Structure 1
Amino acid sequence: MIFSTSNIKKSFTTGEVSEEILKGVDLSLAEGEITALVGSSGSGKSTLLTIAAGLQPASGGEIQFDGEEMSAMNQEQIRKIRAQSFGFVFQSAHLVPFLTAEEQLLLMLETAGSPLTKKQRREEAENILGWVGMGHRKTAYPASMSGGEKQRIAIARAIVHQPKLLFADEPTASLDSTKSHEVMELLQKLTKTLNIATLMVTHEEDMLAYADRVITMKDGRLA
């Protein structure tokens, strides 16, 4: 397992009231697998994903990534791991409106501190765009793209720097059924081909067929 959490807890305090969102969660992720996290609203699944991705701290517990103790790291160390080793796909593509498809990926490579030369970065960006079926749209801007095209570009951006973990939060929620299946087929292909560990939060039962494991959360615990 490349990633694991042990007894992860998360509480929020408002005034004198404290609410426990996560109540001791143990989760492991394996390379080459899609793990789907499901549960009703308020079950804690999105909170667990953001803690696992280093986007917010846990109140207690440990997180191990690639043999290192993430929960013992400072914010700069965690930021570096996020930039270099994690990829993110959200419900909305969140593309930069004034950048072309190719430029979206080049920006990601720059953010990740890629050791590639400028020429190599362009070649890699073109290669990944081809992988996701968007090579013909490399000079297109987000305003001219369909929802499915935007999400494909978002996926390409998430994996162009060859991350070890991919976090997908409701990646098909804004798409119709046909586009949803296309996006999930793509995520499945990339997870297997690139040997990525993918953690996906979803409400859509149809998408669970693409997962290697399905984990249900209820009341802050894995059911």
Structure 2
Amino acid sequence: MTTTVLIADDQALVRSGLRAIIESEPGLAVVGEAADGAGAVEAVRRLRPDVALMDIRMPHLDGVAATRALLGSRTPPPTRVLILTTFHLDEYVTEALRAGASGFLLKDATADQLVEAVRVIASGEAMLSPAVTRRLLDRMADDRPEADGRELRDLLSPREVDVLLMVARGSSNAEIGAALQLAESTVKSHVQSILGKLGVRDRLQAAVAAYDSGLVRPRNRWAGPGRGGSGG
């Protein structure tokens, strides 16, 4: 199946470059472009692409506001948003993640990294740049010093807590299965259950919820004694 992509950036040259890279790859197709955030919102709602490449800094609506407008609506489109940014720790990126973006990509990334990012975001199976993503999530968690993770520990089964902790560290299903001695299919079932219980669309948003809730603390695995163990 073809993965459809919409490109939103206020620089025509950047849009042309991104289009050329994406359209050179089998199974990827650019279905539209937008030069500002308002145009991106309209185009995504009309075209419903699988992935929207969203520049963080655009006129009229920036990437954060556009993402929030799309994914915070009563009937959000199925589109997953990939934020394009110049800086590893741009403060706007953390707000975009909270608004529902599925990941981010630095603008100095290679063509191969861009293609991989689009495919990963479309699949919803993994987070991008785990080390950098964790740094962003640590920064987000610093904004929630009073949270202790109790709400998520009460919501999830002990085994789901174990899985979510590893998702929040950027682990793949195979890595989680090996660490917890579970079949990869079982891990996938746990992940889907976690997404459903948390009401989120993908693994990155589950990780955001884990950090925001205090289940994961900056630079530490646990917020405190948990319920994890051999259950579930």
TM-score, length of structure 1 as denominator length: 0.35
Please state which structure has a larger fraction of its residues in helix.
2
Please state which structure has a larger fraction of its residues in strand.
1
